[in-house]
A and B are shown apart, each in its own frame.
Chain A
Amino acid sequence: MIAITKRFLLLSPLALLARKAFAAASGEPQDLGPEPPVVAVTPPPLTPAALDAVTKRAVEGYILPAYQDLAAATSKLVTAVNAVAPTAPGAPDEATRAAFAAVVAAFAKVDFLRFGPMAEEGRLEKFSYYPDRHGTGARQLRRMLATPDPAQLAPGAVAKLSAAVQGLPALESLIFAADSDSETRAYRWSLAAAIAGNLDTIAHNTLDGWTKTGGWQALMEQPGGSNIVYRDSEEPVIEILKAITTGLLQIRDQRMLPALGENFAAAKPNRAAFVASGNALAYLAASGAAIEDIARTSDLFSLTPTEAPKLGAESSAGFAAYRAGLAASATWQQAFADAANYKHLRDAFDALKTLEDLYSFRFPSEAGISPGFNALDGD
């Protein structure tokens, strides 16, 4: 029946319909579907040039530098871990701590970009398997440490393991908890070096996926025509906007909420990411800064020139409130020390809600962009 179906389709107008749907602004007339006869409030139409400019600024001014930073940071981490691994210390030295923190900060710049090469081949999950609600990574690491296997240290071997033990959380667990486990310390560090190498491979493969001929940069900067990923100039901008809105939601619901719980009494601070290495607060701060950075660098609000000053000011105020909430405590543990400190975290949490409304509703309405109410976070 399927074969018959395919033959039927080849003979049907479907191929034509598909081509029409792929048609883009450049060259071919664009079929955006029938236009509605009644429109409530219509902002001035966005030009492909204005949209393309936002995409170009986002890609070349933010995204590519962010992935370059990540690749550079993972290379430094490899150097740092390899340098110290032979001595297998009980705690990481300062250089390794700094290199690890730099990778966490660089990762925060890209982990809200849930599209492109990092979203392929499970790279995002392999780079940082989080949240790990069932402690899969810890369980698998315990098993691996109980029966050390030199084969797992061979080049490329880590990439074949479960995603839960391939990335940052596993590396953090290995080197920041080494003190408690003198028997396996040497293997821990060897495995940590292998994982650092894996992170470096992922980061460089991702960067290559962006910059190679016909890579993701080209897909975003040359929408339309035979480009089936981005069919017109608006779609790459929507991708960027979607990254911003889902990034805000990700920080709030998936990074903060598991730790904050419903209230102070129900808080579980150790559920946050990168607590063991002391990077929890820095990671959250860098995550917020990253989203603000891509919005600013792309000059997204240029798509609604009359409203840009107001939206820009509100965005700045929102991110400032988020930063202030996080900065109120010197450490993650201190942020949960009492209800007053905890409230500052809640304030940061609430600031994200305001920013979500700004980017997911007000800005698209003002700019006349249709990010897709359902397409943003369907069900």
Chain B
Amino acid sequence: MAALFHRMREGLAAVLGFETAIGVAERAVYLSSVRVGPRQHALLLIDERGTEIGRMPLAGRGHDIAVDKAGGRVAVFARRPGYFAVIVDGRSLSPLATIRPPEGHHFFGHGAFSADGHILYATENVFTTEQPRGVVGVYDVSGDFRRIGEFETHGMDSHEILMAPDGQTLVVANGGIETHPEFGRQKLNVADMRPSIVRIDSATGDLIGETQLDAGLNQLSTRHMAFDGSGALWFGCQWEGEKGRRPPLVGRIDGEGEAMLLPFPDAVAPLARNYIGSVVASRDGTAIAASSPIGGTIFVFDAERKALHAAHRLRDGCGLAGASGEGFLASAGDGRLMHVAGEIIEPITRVGAVEFDNHMRRIDLG
């Protein structure tokens, strides 16, 4: 199998002319989709100091990156409505394959690998029906990179998908917003939204559980998630309702599936501008960071106390990834890279001529 990967990688690199074979030593690196010019996008690989290790051009704007810890690969997804996901060798940044959703589907920009790295799960919009619906596309990425099935997400606008710490359960945030590629990114059902977070058996596709917020929060679109060290699921939302309201935007779901929302104090709530763009856990699992690029603020929560710990200003800051201990790397649309830990935020660098996109991921190359 490794030989097959190697041949495919070399073949694709030769055909597409990518600059690869960077030779990453054993260390942690960070990946993000970036814009490098008008309608020019790439996958950028940097170290913890922001030094560029390599980049790979993308056919369109990328969004999130799923990490195959077992195989050292990543899958970079096109932003919704997206029609490609590139499987990439994390060490050389060389493309291994491009997968595409079936006719009448598009990707929502997120995916997750199975624990053994053999399967890639991708959130997809099925838009051929009168009422679009979310599914999880199941792709065999152990051999010939083909779609082998799909699971219902029991909602629409299925956004981020995570593999739970048990390695068996998929968790999907259904944002609840109806979109259709014929109408671009227009939100078509804001008045009738019904977001949810569902747990799905990754082997069978069976619905294990579903969490919905109170009916008064129907317009609170659940979109991004992270597991803390205790196994609780943290989620971040985007409010599509009345702009004068300041609903809670961050919450936590315990093992019983019960959601607890953590409202910001009045002095802090306006900073989020009713929008959370990314949620990530620290590597030690004790802290959760949530970003609001629209509000230009990074929020840090104490996962154990279940409480907001600090709010840091970072204009257009959205990308977050665990650094060491309770710390995070945070990236901004203007290329800034910061280190965030508790009440501390420190500049690392500004990566020139690069605009970081919404999400950043860390991979540890052994």
Contacts of A10 in B (CB 8 A): 265
Contacts of A4 in B (CB 8 A): 307
| B-contacting residues, A129-150, CB 8 Å | 131, 133-134
- Indicate whether A36 sits within 8 Å of B357 (C-beta atoms), given known contacts A21-B271, A257-B183: no
- Indicate whether A2 sits within 8 Å of B349 (C-beta atoms), given known contacts A249-B184, A379-B80: no
Contact (Cβ within 8 A) A18 B293: no
Contact (Cβ within 8 A) B310 A375: no
| In the assembled complex, B39 has its CB within 8 A of some CB on chain A | yes
User: Closest Cβ of chain A: how far from B311's Cβ, in Å?
Assistant: 5
Contacts of B37 in A (CB 8 A): 361
Contact (Cβ within 8 A) B333 A373: yes
User: Closest Cβ of chain B: how far from A212's Cβ, in Å?
Assistant: 15
Please encode chain A, from 1 to 34, with 1 for each CB lying within 8 Å of some chain B CB and 0 for all others. Answer: 1101110111011110111110000000001111
**Cα distance A133–B180 in the bound complex, in angstroms:** 9
Q: Which 5 A-B pairs have the closest CB atoms?
A: A253-B184, A40-B352, A373-B333, A36-B350, A372-B316
Contact (Cβ within 8 A) B315 A372: yes
Q: For residue B275, which residue of chain A has the nearest CB? A: A378
- Indicate whether A33 sits within 8 Å of B333 (C-beta atoms), given known contacts A38-B349, A379-B109: no
Q: Would you mind naming 28 contact pairs between A and B with Cβ atoms under 8 Å apart?
A: A2-B261, A4-B307, A5-B262, A5-B305, A9-B265, A9-B268, A17-B310, A33-B315, A36-B347, A37-B349, A38-B349, A120-B242, A120-B243, A257-B183, A360-B38, A361-B38, A370-B316, A372-B294, A372-B333, A373-B316, A374-B357, A374-B358, A375-B296, A375-B316, A375-B333, A378-B277, A378-B293, A379-B63
- Indicate whether A378 sits within 8 Å of B306 (C-beta atoms), given known contacts A32-B313, A34-B345, A370-B333: no
| In the assembled complex, B336 has its CB within 8 A of some CB on chain A | yes
Contact (Cβ within 8 A) A121 B316: no
| A-contacting residues, B58-98, CB 8 Å | 63, 79-80
Contact (Cβ within 8 A) B183 A131: yes
| B-contacting residues, A320-379, CB 8 Å | 357, 360-362, 370, 372-375, 377-379
User: Closest Cβ of chain A: how far from B213's Cβ, in Å?
Assistant: 14
**Cα distance A14–B180 in the bound complex, in angstroms:** 41
Contacts of B271 in A (CB 8 A): 18, 21
Which listed residue, B183, B262, B358, touches A258 by the CB 8 Å rule? Answer: B183
Contact (Cβ within 8 A) B313 A373: no
Contact (Cβ within 8 A) A21 B313: yes
Q: Most chain-B CB neighbours within 10 Å: which of A4, A9, A378?
A: A378
Q: Most chain-B CB neighbours within 10 Å: which of A32, A253, A372?
A: A372
User: Closest Cβ of chain B: how far from A164's Cβ, in Å?
Assistant: 9
Contact (Cβ within 8 A) A38 B352: yes
Contact (Cβ within 8 A) B347 A378: no
Q: For residue A377, which residue of chain B has the nearest CB? A: B185
Contacts of B356 in A (CB 8 A): 373-374
| In the assembled complex, B267 has its CB within 8 A of some CB on chain A | yes
Contact (Cβ within 8 A) A1 B333: no
| In the assembled complex, B208 has its CB within 8 A of some CB on chain A | no
Contact (Cβ within 8 A) B315 A32: yes
**Cα distance A20–B268 in the bound complex, in angstroms:** 11
| In the assembled complex, B297 has its CB within 8 A of some CB on chain A | yes
Task: List B residues at the A interface (Cβ < 8 Å).
Answer: 35, 37-39, 63, 79-80, 109, 130, 178, 180, 182-186, 188, 190-191, 223, 238, 242-244, 260-263, 265, 267-268, 270-271, 275, 277, 293-294, 296-297, 305-316, 318, 333-336, 338, 343, 345-347, 349-350, 352-353, 355-358
**Cα distance A5–B261 in the bound complex, in angstroms:** 11
- Indicate whether A357 sits within 8 Å of B355 (C-beta atoms), given known contacts A18-B311, A34-B345, A34-B346: no
Contacts of B314 in A (CB 8 A): 33
Which listed residue, B109, B183, B313, touches A31 by the CB 8 Å rule? Answer: B313
Q: For residue B343, which residue of chain A has the nearest CB? A: A13
**Cα distance A374–B297 in the bound complex, in angstroms:** 12
Contact (Cβ within 8 A) B346 A375: no
User: Closest Cβ of chain B: how far from A131's Cβ, in Å?
Assistant: 5
**Cα distance A216–B223 in the bound complex, in angstroms:** 30
Which listed residue, A5, A33, A249, touches B306 by the CB 8 Å rule? Answer: A5
**Cα distance A200–B263 in the bound complex, in angstroms:** 38
- Indicate whether A13 sits within 8 Å of B310 (C-beta atoms), given known contacts A373-B357, A378-B275, A378-B358: yes
Contact (Cβ within 8 A) A253 B186: yes
Which listed residue, B183, B242, B345, touches A33 by the CB 8 Å rule? Answer: B345
**Cα distance A336–B79 in the bound complex, in angstroms:** 31
| In the assembled complex, A39 has its CB within 8 A of some CB on chain B | yes
Contacts of B263 in A (CB 8 A): 2, 6
Contact (Cβ within 8 A) A253 B294: no
Q: For residue A259, which residue of chain B has the nearest CB? A: B182
| In the assembled complex, A254 has its CB within 8 A of some CB on chain B | yes
Contacts of B63 in A (CB 8 A): 379
Q: For residue A164, which residue of chain B has the nearest CB? A: B191
**Cα distance A122–B338 in the bound complex, in angstroms:** 37
Given contacts A14-B308, A133-B188, 18 further A-B contacts (CB under 8 A): A5-B262, A18-B311, A21-B271, A33-B312, A33-B336, A34-B338, A40-B352, A120-B244, A131-B183, A133-B178, A249-B184, A257-B184, A361-B37, A373-B357, A374-B277, A378-B275, A379-B80, A379-B358
User: Closest Cβ of chain B: how far from A202's Cβ, in Å?
Assistant: 15
Contact (Cβ within 8 A) A14 B350: no
- Indicate whether A8 sits within 8 Å of B307 (C-beta atoms), given known contacts A32-B313, A120-B242: yes
| In the assembled complex, A46 has its CB within 8 A of some CB on chain B | no
**Cα distance A36–B346 in the bound complex, in angstroms:** 9
Q: For residue A16, which residue of chain B has the nearest CB? A: B267
- Indicate whether A375 sits within 8 Å of B293 (C-beta atoms), given known contacts A131-B188, A253-B185: yes
| In the assembled complex, A43 has its CB within 8 A of some CB on chain B | no
Contacts of B350 in A (CB 8 A): 36-40
Contacts of A228 in B (CB 8 A): 270
- Indicate whether A34 sits within 8 Å of B347 (C-beta atoms), given known contacts A133-B180, A372-B294: yes
Contact (Cβ within 8 A) B244 A374: no
Q: For residue B294, which residue of chain A has the nearest CB? A: A375
